[in-house]
Chains A and B, each alone.
Chain A
Amino acid sequence: MSLPSETEAPERGISRRPVEIATAVLLIGLAGIVLYDSHGRGAGWDGGPQNGFFPARVGWIFLAASFFILWQSFRRPDGMFVTYEQLRQVVRVLGPLVLFVALIQPLGLYVASAIFIIAFMVVVGTSRWWSILLTALIVPVACFWVFELQFRVPLPKGPLEAVLGY
C-alpha cells in the first residue's frame, strides 16, 4: 500500500472512492488467486470432494461479492477516507512500529522495544527527554521480568541478552 506524499493543508485528504475501488480490486485479485489455486489442485469430485472443493465455492461467492462492492463504490456518494493530517498521525505511529518489528530479529525483542519507545516518543514529541529514557528502560525490564522470569515464556533475544548471560 503506497502512501501519498504529505502536505500541510489539514482539510485536504484522500477521498473515499479511490480507496474503496482499490480495496475491491484487491479483493477481486485475491479471489482470483484462490480460484486459480483451488481449481489448479482440483475442485471437483474424486471419490469425494477434492481439497479445492470448498475454497473454490467460497472463492466464487467472494468474487461475486467483491464485484458487487466495486460496482457499489462507483454509485455511492464520495466522502473523505482520511485527511492528510490524520494520515500524518498514523504514519508517525506506523513508522516506528515497522522499525520495531524489523529490529526484533537482529536485536531481540527487549532492545527493539527500547528503541521503539524512544523513536515513538521522540516522533510524537510531547515528552521530556528524561521521561522518554526512563520509559524506554523500565518497560522492557518489566516485560523481561513478567515474561522471561515469571511466566517463563521465551521471547526473541539478541546480542545484549547474550552478553548478560540469558
Chain B
Amino acid sequence: MDDFASLVAGFQVALSWHNVGFMAVGVILGIVVGVLPGLGGPNGVAILLPLTFGMDPTSAIILLSSIYWGALFGGAITSILFNIPGEAWSVATTFDGYPMAVQGKAAEALTAAFTASFIGALSGVVLITFVAPLVAQFALRFGPAEFFAVFLLTFCSFIGMGRENRAKIIASLCIGFLLAAVGLDSISGDLRMTFGSTELMRGFDFLIVVIGLFGVSEILLTVEEGLVFKGKQAKIDLMVVLRTWAGLPRYWATLLRSAVVGMWMGVTPGGAIAASFMGYGLAKRFSKRGKNFGKGEIEGVLAPETAAHAAGTSALLPMLALGIPGSATAAVLLGGLLVWGLQPGPMLFVEQKDFVWGLIASMYLGNLAGLIIVLATVPLFAAIMRIPFSFVAPVILIVCAIGAYTISNSIFDIWLMLVFGVVGYVFKKLDYPLAPMILALVLGDRAEDAFRQALLGSGGSLGVFWANGLVATLVVLALLLLCWGPAGDAIAALRGRRRTDPETAEATR
C-alpha cells in the first residue's frame, strides 16, 4: 500500500492549480497538433520541449504528456471527419469512422472514438500504476549486460513485430544508432564520424531529426495530394453523447478485448499501430455484426481506438520503469527527462518519487480533462481544418524551424531539419519506418554504453550475455521475438497461399 500513498501524494502534486492549468493547455495544444497535418505527437512535443527547459520538471512533463494525450484524441477527429489518419495508429479508425461520418453519424462516431480512447488510456494508466513499480523494483538488480539485453529485446521486437519490410526496419534502426554515435564519444572522449566538421561535433540532436522526419516531411506528403481538405461537418451536443454512452455497455467485450490487446502490445515497442489493427481485426472476427465492418459500424470505431490508446499509454510503462520508450513520442519524452537531469529507469522510482507519481496521477487527470475538452470543442478543431492550407503550411514550417533553432541556437540545425525533412519524405514513400530510427537515436548512446560496460566487465567475452538466468532469458526472448514475425509469415505462407500483401510476402522470401 506504499504505492497507494505515493499515488495519493501524486494526485496532490498534479491537482495544484498551475499543474491543472498546464494540463488543460497541453491537451488543447495537443489536439491542435493532432489535427494539423505535419504536426503529430512526437513533433509537437519535440518543438515545445526547448521551451520547458526552464520549468519545474514535474510541470514540464505534465504539460508535455498532456500534449501527447491531446494528440491521441486529435488524431481521431481527422480520421473520422476527413478520412485522414493523424497518426499511423488512427488508420484503422478511418475504416468505420469515415463511413459513419458520411452517413451523417459523425457525432456518434466521434463520441465513441473519444470515449473508447479514454477507456483504453485509462486501462493503460491502471497498468502503469500497478505494474511499473514492480518492474522498476525488479530492474534494480540489472547490470549493464541485463540492460543491453533489454535494449536488444526492444529492437528485436521492433523488427519481429513490425508490419514493414524487415530489412528496412533494420536499416532504419542502424541509421538511428549511427546518428547517435556521431560526435563526442562519452566513454573515450574521442570524436567519431565528424570528418573534421565542427558542426557535427555536437552530434545529431534527436529533436532536430524528429522535427524534420515527422514535421517537414509530413507537410511535403500532404501537399502532394493538393492543397485542400474535404471534410464532413460535426456538431456534438449532450444528447448525442449521452445516447452513445448509453449504447456502449453492449460492447463491453470488444472494449475489454481491445484494451487487453492494447496493453500487451503497448509494452512491447512499436505496438500501438499493430495493436489498433489487431483490435480491429479481432472485433471483426468475434462481432455478430462483423460483416458490416467497414460500412460504418460503431464497434469498428471502438475497437481500434481502445487498443491504440491502451497501447499508446502503456508505451510509457517501459519508459518510466526501464528507461526504454515504447513509441516515438515516448522516446521524445524520455529525451526530455534526460535534459531535465532525470535518469529514466528503475532508480527514478526510488529517487524521484514525487515526479513519477505526480506524472502517473496526471495521466488519470489529463485523460479525463482531455475527454471533456475534446467533446466540448470538436466543432472548433474541425474548423481548423478549413483554414486554407496555403496559410497553415508556412506557419507550421516556421514553427518547425523555430523549434529546431531553439534547441541549441544554431542555424545549421535548421538546415539539418530541412535535410531530414527530405529524407523523411523519401523514406515514407519507400516504406522505411521512421519510429525505429528515432528510438535507436535516443537509446543509441545508452545501449552502446551498456554493451561496452558489459564487455569490459567480462574482458571481451560475449558469454556475459549468457552468464546468468536473467540475462539469458532476456536474450532468448529477444531472439524469439526477432524470429516471431518471419516465422509467422512463413507459416501463413505455407498454409494456403492467399497472401496479397507484397510487403509481408517479400519478407518471407
For A64-78 the 0/1 string (1 means CB < 8 A from B) is 011011001001110
Chain A positions within 8 Å of B, measured between CB atoms, are: 1, 16, 19-20, 23, 27, 30-31, 33-34, 37-38, 41, 45, 48-55, 58-59, 61-62, 65-66, 68-69, 72, 75-77, 81-82, 86, 89-90, 92-94, 96-98, 100-101, 104-105, 109, 113, 116-117, 120-121, 124, 126-127, 135, 139, 143, 147, 151, 153-156
CA distance A147 to B241 in the complex (A): 39
Contacts of A77 in B (CB 8 A): 502
Residues of B in contact (CB 8 Å), total 59
Selected A-B contacts with CB under 8 Å, 15 pairs: A37-B195, A49-B456, A51-B190, A58-B177, A61-B170, A90-B223, A96-B394, A101-B415, A113-B394, A121-B391, A127-B390, A147-B402, A153-B50, A153-B406, A155-B405
**In contact, A139 and B195 (Cβ under 8 angstroms):** no
Residue pairs across A and B with CB atoms within 8 Å: the count is 168
Chain B positions within 8 Å of A, measured between CB atoms, are: 50-51, 165, 167-168, 170-171, 174-175, 177-178, 181, 185, 187-188, 190, 192-193, 195, 216, 219-220, 223-227, 388, 390-391, 393-395, 397-398, 401-402, 405-406, 409, 411, 414-415, 418, 422, 425-427, 429-430, 448, 451-452, 455-456, 460, 502, 506, 509
Partner of A89, one of B165, B226, B388: B226
CA distance A94 to B222 in the complex (A): 12
Contacts of B405 in A (CB 8 A): 104, 109, 155-156
Contacts of B224 in A (CB 8 A): 82, 86, 89-90
**In contact, A55 and B397 (Cβ under 8 angstroms):** no
**In contact, A34 and B178 (Cβ under 8 angstroms):** yes
Partner of A51, one of B167, B174, B188, B390: B188
Partner of A65, one of B174, B391, B426: B174
Given A37-B195, A51-B185, A116-B398, the answer on whether A93 and B414 have CB atoms closer than 8 Å is no
**In contact, A155 and B402 (Cβ under 8 angstroms):** yes
Q: How far is the CB of A78 from chain B (nearest CB, A)?
A: 12
From B390, which residue of chain A is reached at the shortest CB distance?
A124
Contacts of A59 in B (CB 8 A): 174, 178
Given A92-B223, A155-B406, the answer on whether A49 and B177 have CB atoms closer than 8 Å is no
From A140, which residue of chain B is reached at the shortest CB distance?
B398
Given A49-B455, A51-B192, A89-B224, the answer on whether A109 and B171 have CB atoms closer than 8 Å is no
